[in-house]
Amino acid sequence: MNHRPRKRFGQNFLHDPGIIQRIVHAIDPQQDDNLVEIGPGRGAITTELLPLAHHMHVVELDRNLIEPLAHLCASLGELEIHNRDALKFDFNHLALPGHPLRVVGNLPYNISTPLLFHLLNQSGRILDMHFMLQKEVVDRMAAAPGGKVYGRLSVMLQARADVTPLFHIGSGAFNPPPKVDSAFVRLQPCDPPPYRIDDWDIFSKLVRQAFSQRRKTLRNSLGKILSTEAIEVTGIDPGARAEQLSVEDFANLANRVLSVNRLSHE
Ligand code: SAH
Protein backbone atom coordinates (compact mmCIF):
# COMPACT_ATOMS: atom_id res chain seq x y z
CA MET A 1 0.00 0.00 0.00
CA ASN A 2 1.56 3.27 -1.13
CA HIS A 3 0.69 5.42 1.85
CA ARG A 4 2.98 7.10 4.37
CA PRO A 5 1.85 6.99 8.01
CA ARG A 6 0.59 10.40 9.10
CA LYS A 7 1.33 11.70 12.55
CA ARG A 8 -1.62 14.07 12.43
CA PHE A 9 -3.98 11.09 12.34
CA GLY A 10 -2.15 9.22 15.09
CA GLN A 11 -1.18 6.47 12.66
CA ASN A 12 0.77 3.59 14.16
CA PHE A 13 0.01 0.54 12.08
CA LEU A 14 0.11 -2.94 13.61
CA HIS A 15 2.37 -5.38 11.81
CA ASP A 16 3.04 -8.17 14.32
CA PRO A 17 0.96 -11.20 13.20
CA GLY A 18 1.10 -12.78 16.69
CA ILE A 19 -0.36 -9.67 18.32
CA ILE A 20 -3.02 -9.32 15.61
CA GLN A 21 -4.09 -12.93 16.28
CA ARG A 22 -4.31 -12.30 20.03
CA ILE A 23 -6.52 -9.29 19.36
CA VAL A 24 -8.84 -11.21 17.03
CA HIS A 25 -9.01 -14.07 19.53
CA ALA A 26 -9.95 -11.68 22.37
CA ILE A 27 -12.73 -10.14 20.25
CA ASP A 28 -13.89 -13.56 19.02
CA PRO A 29 -16.19 -12.23 16.26
CA GLN A 30 -19.26 -14.26 15.32
CA GLN A 31 -21.16 -14.20 12.07
CA ASP A 32 -24.17 -12.31 13.39
CA ASP A 33 -22.15 -9.68 15.23
CA ASN A 34 -22.71 -6.03 14.45
CA LEU A 35 -19.06 -5.08 14.32
CA VAL A 36 -17.64 -1.58 13.82
CA GLU A 37 -13.94 -0.81 13.70
CA ILE A 38 -12.66 2.69 14.38
CA GLY A 39 -9.53 3.67 12.45
CA PRO A 40 -9.00 0.54 10.30
CA GLY A 41 -5.94 2.15 8.68
CA ARG A 42 -4.33 -0.31 6.28
CA GLY A 43 -6.61 -3.08 7.47
CA ALA A 44 -4.27 -4.99 9.81
CA ILE A 45 -7.18 -6.04 12.04
CA THR A 46 -9.99 -5.55 9.51
CA THR A 47 -8.72 -8.22 7.13
CA GLU A 48 -8.79 -10.75 9.99
CA LEU A 49 -12.17 -9.75 11.43
CA LEU A 50 -14.13 -9.40 8.19
CA PRO A 51 -13.97 -13.05 7.04
CA LEU A 52 -15.24 -14.12 10.48
CA ALA A 53 -18.00 -11.51 10.79
CA HIS A 54 -18.90 -11.58 7.04
CA HIS A 55 -20.17 -7.99 7.34
CA MET A 56 -18.78 -5.01 9.25
CA HIS A 57 -18.57 -1.23 9.42
CA VAL A 58 -15.38 0.83 9.58
CA VAL A 59 -15.02 4.54 10.42
CA GLU A 60 -11.81 6.03 9.00
CA LEU A 61 -10.87 9.72 8.83
CA ASP A 62 -7.95 9.58 6.36
CA ARG A 63 -9.48 9.63 2.88
CA ASN A 64 -6.23 8.38 1.33
CA LEU A 65 -6.78 5.05 3.06
CA ILE A 66 -10.35 4.46 1.89
CA GLU A 67 -9.77 3.23 -1.66
CA PRO A 68 -6.88 0.88 -0.78
CA LEU A 69 -8.92 -0.52 2.11
CA ALA A 70 -11.96 -1.19 -0.08
CA HIS A 71 -9.70 -2.91 -2.59
CA LEU A 72 -7.92 -5.00 0.03
CA CYS A 73 -11.17 -6.23 1.60
CA ALA A 74 -13.23 -6.69 -1.58
CA SER A 75 -13.15 -10.49 -1.53
CA LEU A 76 -13.22 -10.93 2.26
CA GLY A 77 -16.79 -9.94 3.06
CA GLU A 78 -19.14 -7.00 3.04
CA LEU A 79 -17.32 -3.89 4.29
CA GLU A 80 -19.24 -0.64 4.84
CA ILE A 81 -16.74 2.21 4.91
CA HIS A 82 -17.62 5.51 6.59
CA ASN A 83 -15.06 8.17 5.72
CA ARG A 84 -15.79 10.22 8.84
CA ASP A 85 -14.41 11.54 12.10
CA ALA A 86 -15.21 8.97 14.81
CA LEU A 87 -15.49 11.76 17.40
CA LYS A 88 -18.48 13.19 15.54
CA PHE A 89 -19.89 9.94 14.23
CA ASP A 90 -23.36 8.83 15.34
CA PHE A 91 -22.70 5.19 16.28
CA ASN A 92 -26.29 4.77 17.47
CA HIS A 93 -27.64 4.61 13.94
CA LEU A 94 -25.53 1.53 13.15
CA ALA A 95 -27.13 -0.44 15.97
CA LEU A 96 -30.19 -2.42 14.95
CA PRO A 97 -32.91 -3.84 17.20
CA GLY A 98 -31.47 -6.99 18.78
CA HIS A 99 -28.06 -6.21 17.26
CA PRO A 100 -26.13 -3.92 19.58
CA LEU A 101 -22.71 -2.81 18.38
CA ARG A 102 -19.40 -4.44 19.07
CA VAL A 103 -16.84 -1.66 18.73
CA VAL A 104 -13.14 -2.35 18.14
CA GLY A 105 -10.09 -0.27 17.33
CA ASN A 106 -6.42 0.42 17.58
CA LEU A 107 -7.19 4.01 18.42
CA PRO A 108 -5.25 7.15 17.72
CA TYR A 109 -3.96 7.90 21.22
CA ASN A 110 -4.53 11.62 21.00
CA ILE A 111 -8.31 11.20 20.73
CA SER A 112 -8.78 8.14 22.95
CA THR A 113 -10.30 9.79 26.02
CA PRO A 114 -12.87 11.99 24.24
CA LEU A 115 -13.75 9.03 22.03
CA LEU A 116 -14.40 6.79 25.05
CA PHE A 117 -16.76 9.40 26.47
CA HIS A 118 -18.46 9.87 23.11
CA LEU A 119 -19.04 6.10 22.86
CA LEU A 120 -20.22 5.68 26.43
CA ASN A 121 -22.87 8.30 25.83
CA GLN A 122 -24.30 5.85 23.29
CA SER A 123 -23.70 2.82 25.48
CA GLY A 124 -27.32 1.67 25.44
CA ARG A 125 -26.60 0.44 21.93
CA ILE A 126 -23.18 -1.07 22.56
CA LEU A 127 -22.55 -4.66 23.63
CA ASP A 128 -18.81 -4.36 24.13
CA MET A 129 -15.70 -2.46 23.05
CA HIS A 130 -12.13 -3.66 22.53
CA PHE A 131 -9.41 -1.06 22.23
CA MET A 132 -5.70 -0.75 21.85
CA LEU A 133 -4.67 2.20 23.95
CA GLN A 134 -1.70 3.74 25.65
CA LYS A 135 -0.88 1.42 28.57
CA GLU A 136 -0.90 4.32 30.98
CA VAL A 137 -4.47 5.17 29.93
CA VAL A 138 -5.62 1.56 30.40
CA ASP A 139 -4.07 1.58 33.89
CA ARG A 140 -6.07 4.70 34.73
CA MET A 141 -9.28 3.28 33.25
CA ALA A 142 -9.10 0.11 35.34
CA ALA A 143 -7.64 1.59 38.56
CA ALA A 144 -9.18 0.82 41.96
CA PRO A 145 -9.56 3.47 44.70
CA GLY A 146 -6.52 4.28 46.80
CA GLY A 147 -3.83 4.52 44.15
CA LYS A 148 -2.25 7.43 42.34
CA VAL A 149 -3.69 6.57 38.94
CA TYR A 150 -7.28 6.32 40.21
CA GLY A 151 -9.05 9.44 38.97
CA ARG A 152 -11.79 10.98 36.93
CA LEU A 153 -11.35 8.57 34.00
CA SER A 154 -11.55 5.50 36.30
CA VAL A 155 -14.73 6.71 37.99
CA MET A 156 -16.52 7.95 34.88
CA LEU A 157 -15.89 4.71 32.97
CA GLN A 158 -16.47 2.27 35.82
CA ALA A 159 -19.78 3.99 36.61
CA ARG A 160 -21.07 2.70 33.29
CA ALA A 161 -18.93 -0.23 32.20
CA ASP A 162 -16.85 -3.18 33.33
CA VAL A 163 -13.24 -2.49 32.39
CA THR A 164 -10.94 -5.48 31.81
CA PRO A 165 -7.30 -4.96 30.80
CA LEU A 166 -6.31 -7.94 28.63
CA PHE A 167 -2.62 -7.74 27.65
CA HIS A 168 0.33 -5.44 27.05
CA ILE A 169 1.94 -4.75 23.71
CA GLY A 170 5.42 -3.36 23.19
CA SER A 171 5.96 -0.55 20.71
CA GLY A 172 7.82 -2.87 18.31
CA ALA A 173 4.49 -4.33 17.16
CA PHE A 174 3.71 -1.05 15.35
CA ASN A 175 5.02 0.82 12.36
CA PRO A 176 6.13 3.46 13.14
CA PRO A 177 6.65 2.45 16.78
CA PRO A 178 4.91 4.81 19.22
CA LYS A 179 6.96 6.30 22.06
CA VAL A 180 4.82 4.59 24.70
CA ASP A 181 3.78 1.03 25.53
CA SER A 182 0.27 -0.07 24.65
CA ALA A 183 -2.36 -2.31 26.18
CA PHE A 184 -5.49 -4.02 24.91
CA VAL A 185 -8.63 -3.50 26.96
CA ARG A 186 -12.26 -4.69 27.01
CA LEU A 187 -15.16 -2.47 28.08
CA GLN A 188 -18.63 -3.91 28.63
CA PRO A 189 -21.29 -1.25 29.22
CA CYS A 190 -23.62 -2.29 32.05
CA ASP A 191 -27.33 -2.01 31.45
CA PRO A 192 -28.62 -0.95 33.93
CA PRO A 193 -25.52 0.84 35.30
CA PRO A 194 -23.97 -0.81 38.39
CA TYR A 195 -24.98 2.09 40.67
CA ARG A 196 -28.03 4.33 40.67
CA ILE A 197 -27.05 7.74 39.33
CA ASP A 198 -29.99 10.14 39.18
CA ASP A 199 -28.37 12.88 37.13
CA TRP A 200 -25.29 12.28 34.94
CA ASP A 201 -24.44 15.97 34.59
CA ILE A 202 -24.28 16.42 38.34
CA PHE A 203 -22.29 13.20 38.73
CA SER A 204 -19.83 14.31 36.08
CA LYS A 205 -19.39 17.79 37.58
CA LEU A 206 -18.92 16.41 41.08
CA VAL A 207 -16.30 13.88 39.99
CA ARG A 208 -14.44 16.55 38.03
CA GLN A 209 -14.53 18.93 40.98
CA ALA A 210 -13.38 16.31 43.49
CA PHE A 211 -10.36 15.30 41.38
CA SER A 212 -9.43 18.80 40.20
CA GLN A 213 -7.83 19.29 43.60
CA ARG A 214 -7.14 15.69 44.52
CA ARG A 215 -4.88 16.52 47.50
CA LYS A 216 -7.69 18.40 49.21
CA THR A 217 -10.28 16.88 51.50
CA LEU A 218 -13.84 16.57 50.19
CA ARG A 219 -14.91 19.23 52.67
CA ASN A 220 -12.68 21.69 50.80
CA SER A 221 -12.87 20.45 47.22
CA LEU A 222 -16.66 19.99 47.22
CA GLY A 223 -17.51 22.92 49.51
CA LYS A 224 -19.25 24.89 46.77
CA ILE A 225 -21.47 21.96 45.76
CA LEU A 226 -22.18 20.14 49.01
CA SER A 227 -22.01 21.23 52.65
CA THR A 228 -20.02 19.23 55.20
CA GLU A 229 -23.31 18.13 56.79
CA ALA A 230 -24.68 16.95 53.44
CA ILE A 231 -21.54 14.92 52.85
CA GLU A 232 -21.85 13.39 56.34
CA VAL A 233 -25.45 12.33 55.69
CA THR A 234 -24.20 9.96 52.98
CA GLY A 235 -21.93 8.27 55.53
CA ILE A 236 -18.80 9.46 53.74
CA ASP A 237 -16.04 11.15 55.76
CA PRO A 238 -15.74 14.84 54.71
CA GLY A 239 -12.07 14.58 55.71
CA ALA A 240 -11.43 11.92 53.04
CA ARG A 241 -9.82 12.69 49.68
CA ALA A 242 -11.27 11.92 46.25
CA GLU A 243 -8.88 9.04 45.56
CA GLN A 244 -10.18 7.15 48.60
CA LEU A 245 -13.79 7.09 47.37
CA SER A 246 -15.38 4.20 45.51
CA VAL A 247 -17.51 4.74 42.40
CA GLU A 248 -20.56 4.01 44.56
CA ASP A 249 -19.49 6.77 47.00
CA PHE A 250 -19.41 9.24 44.12
CA ALA A 251 -22.85 8.08 43.01
CA ASN A 252 -24.21 8.61 46.52
CA LEU A 253 -22.67 12.08 46.78
CA ALA A 254 -24.06 13.11 43.39
CA ASN A 255 -27.54 11.85 44.28
CA ARG A 256 -27.26 13.84 47.49
CA VAL A 257 -26.52 17.04 45.53
CA LEU A 258 -29.69 16.47 43.57
CA SER A 259 -31.87 15.96 46.64
CA VAL A 260 -30.35 19.02 48.39
CA ASN A 261 -31.06 21.09 45.25
CA ARG A 262 -34.63 19.81 45.15
CA LEU A 263 -35.21 20.66 48.81
CA SER A 264 -33.90 24.20 48.36
CA HIS A 265 -36.29 24.74 45.43
CA GLU A 266 -39.37 23.60 47.30
N1 SAH B 1 -6.21 -0.31 12.90
C2 SAH B 1 -5.00 -0.01 12.16
C3 SAH B 1 -4.61 1.48 12.20
C4 SAH B 1 -4.32 2.07 13.55
S5 SAH B 1 -3.67 3.72 13.46
C6 SAH B 1 -3.87 -0.90 12.66
O7 SAH B 1 -3.99 -1.42 13.76
O8 SAH B 1 -2.86 -1.02 11.97
C9 SAH B 1 -5.11 4.70 13.85
C10 SAH B 1 -6.08 4.86 12.70
O11 SAH B 1 -7.13 5.74 13.10
C12 SAH B 1 -5.49 5.48 11.44
O13 SAH B 1 -5.92 4.74 10.33
C14 SAH B 1 -6.04 6.90 11.40
O15 SAH B 1 -6.15 7.44 10.12
C16 SAH B 1 -7.41 6.70 12.06
N17 SAH B 1 -7.98 7.89 12.67
C18 SAH B 1 -7.32 8.92 13.27
N19 SAH B 1 -8.18 9.82 13.77
C20 SAH B 1 -9.44 9.35 13.49
C21 SAH B 1 -10.75 9.85 13.73
N22 SAH B 1 -10.95 10.99 14.39
N23 SAH B 1 -11.81 9.13 13.29
C24 SAH B 1 -11.61 7.96 12.61
N25 SAH B 1 -10.39 7.45 12.35
C26 SAH B 1 -9.31 8.14 12.77
**Closest approach atom of ligand 1 to CA 41:** 13
Q: Which atom of ligand 1 is nearest to the CA of 11?
A: 5
Please give the torsion angle defined by the CA atoms of residues 46, 50, 55 and 61, in that order, rounded to the nearest 10 degrees.
10
Q: 211-257 pLDDT, tens per residue?
A: 998 889 999 999 999 999 999 999 999 999 999 999 999 999 999 99
Cβ–ligand 1 contact at 86 (below 6 Å): yes
Nearest to 86 by CA among 52, 110, 53: 110
Nearest-angstrom CA–CA distance, 218 and 222: 5
pTM: 0.94
Residue 132, pLDDT score:
97
**Helical pair 135-142 and 112-120, crossing angle rounded to 10 deg:** 40
Q: In this model, does residue 1 exceed pLDDT 60? A: no
71-107 pLDDT tens trace = 999 999 999 999 999 999 999 999 988 899 999 999 9
pLDDT, tens digit, for every residue of 139-167?
999 999 998 999 999 999 999 999 999 99
Going along the chain from its start, the domains and CATH numbers come out as 7-189 (3.40.50.150), 200-264 (1.10.8.100)
The per-residue pLDDT for 94 is 95
Ligand 1 proximity of 41 Cβ (cutoff 6 Å): yes
Amino acid at site 228: T
The verdict on the CB of residue 111 being under 6 Å from ligand 1 is yes
